[in-house]
């Protein structure tokens, strides 16, 4: 494998709206999650657990999801979807000794949302970075474990490009908390000043990268209209291809 010789060793990407384009999302969250929640409801009912009616079950899970995210925005600490489900089941009085949460998550059948696809230049840019010898990381603020998000990466043919993949669920912290950046840098065996972070959310991706000493690149494609809210990225791009000359420029600064 090529090793990149220059100031920058690693390029770390956010996933949603950075490598994949959510602008074409063609169904609502309820349409996506509803059938999946129904499947879990059916599975648990068939295993002789006493559950509320399916609509109520959906509402309980939906509210639990909203409430953990609301809490997480105060502390940047996030439980995983599995921990959340387990707590919901405990609160419903289910015999959780008889429930295998990993099995529940497999039954949940996570996958790409209809209409969400990589940008046209996502794969060409990742190919180019790999050819240039950069280490490539992925760091997503997801409460799903990485193996679930990997299902999407595999469908999009992106999985092969990453030397390290980190989801907030597996680490317990969300961007902008420094811990999750440190963890990703450790996995890539690099240091903040040798790493570029590319993400679309100023308050999470960019503020966190800045605080942790990485070079920050705001991905600002036309379908997003993010409020910077005082956060200052080192660079701003509207397509991933624009990242390549930025990396050239950083290497030339030695
Ligand atoms: Mg994003």
Per residue in 65-99, pLDDT tens? Answer: 999 999 999 999 999 999 999 999 999 999 999 99
C-alpha dist (Å) from residue 50 to 44, 99, 106: 8, 13, 21
Give the pLDDT confidence score for residue 252 in this predicted structure: 86
User: What is the whole-number distance in angstroms between the Cα of residue 229 and the centre of ligand 1?
Assistant: 16
Domain coordinates in residue numbering, the chain: 10-25+116-252, 29-108
Neighbours of ion ligand 1 (CB under 5 A): 14, 16-17, 200
Give the pLDDT confidence score for residue 4 in this predicted structure: 80
- Which regions in the chain score pLDDT beneath 50? none
- Residue 4 to residue 7: CA distance in whole angstroms: 9
Query: 3.30.70.141, 3.30.70.270, 3.90.950.20, 3.40.50.1000: which CATH number matches 10-25+116-252?
Result: 3.40.50.1000
Nearest CA to 140 among 105, 181, 178, 101? Answer: 181
User: What is the whole-number distance in angstroms between the Cα of residue 33 and the centre of ligand 1?
Assistant: 20
User: What is the whole-number distance in angstroms between the Cα of residue 139 and the centre of ligand 1?
Assistant: 10
User: What is the whole-number distance in angstroms between the Cα of residue 21 and the centre of ligand 1?
Assistant: 9
Three-class SS of residue 239?
coil
User: What is the model's pTM?
Assistant: 0.95
């Amino acid at each position: 494998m090529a090793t990149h010789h220059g100031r920058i060793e690693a390029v770390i990407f956010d996933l949603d709206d950075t490598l994949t384009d959510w602008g074409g999302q063609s169904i609502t969250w309820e349409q996506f999650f509803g059938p999946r929640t129904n499947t879990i409801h059916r599975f648990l009912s068939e295993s002789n657990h006493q559950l509320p009616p399916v609509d109520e079950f959906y509402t309980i899970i939906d509210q639990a999801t909203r409430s953990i995210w609301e809490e997480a925005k105060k502390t940047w600490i996030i439980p995983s979807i599995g921990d959340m489900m387990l707590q919901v089941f405990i609160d419903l009085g289910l015999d959780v000794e008889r429930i295998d949460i990993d099995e529940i998550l497999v039954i949940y059948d996570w996958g790409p949302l209809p209409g969400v696809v990589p940008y046209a230049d996502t794969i060409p840019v990742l190919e180019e970075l790999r050819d240039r010898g950069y280490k490539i990381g992925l760091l997503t603020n997801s409460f799903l474990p990485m193996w679930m998000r990997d299902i999407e990466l595999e469908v999009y043919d992106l999985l092969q490009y990453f030397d390290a993949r980190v989801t907030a669920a597996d680490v317990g912290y969300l961007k902008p908390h420094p811990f999750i950046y440190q963890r990703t840098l450790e996995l890539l065996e690099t240091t903040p000043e040798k790493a570029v972070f590319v993400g679309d959310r100023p308050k999470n991706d960019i503020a966190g990268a800045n605080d942790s000493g990485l070079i920050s690149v705001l991905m600002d494609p036309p379908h997003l209209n993010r409020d910077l809210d005082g956060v200052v990225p080192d660079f701003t791009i509207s397509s991933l291809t624009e990242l390549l000359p930025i990396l050239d420029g950083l290497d030339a600064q030695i």
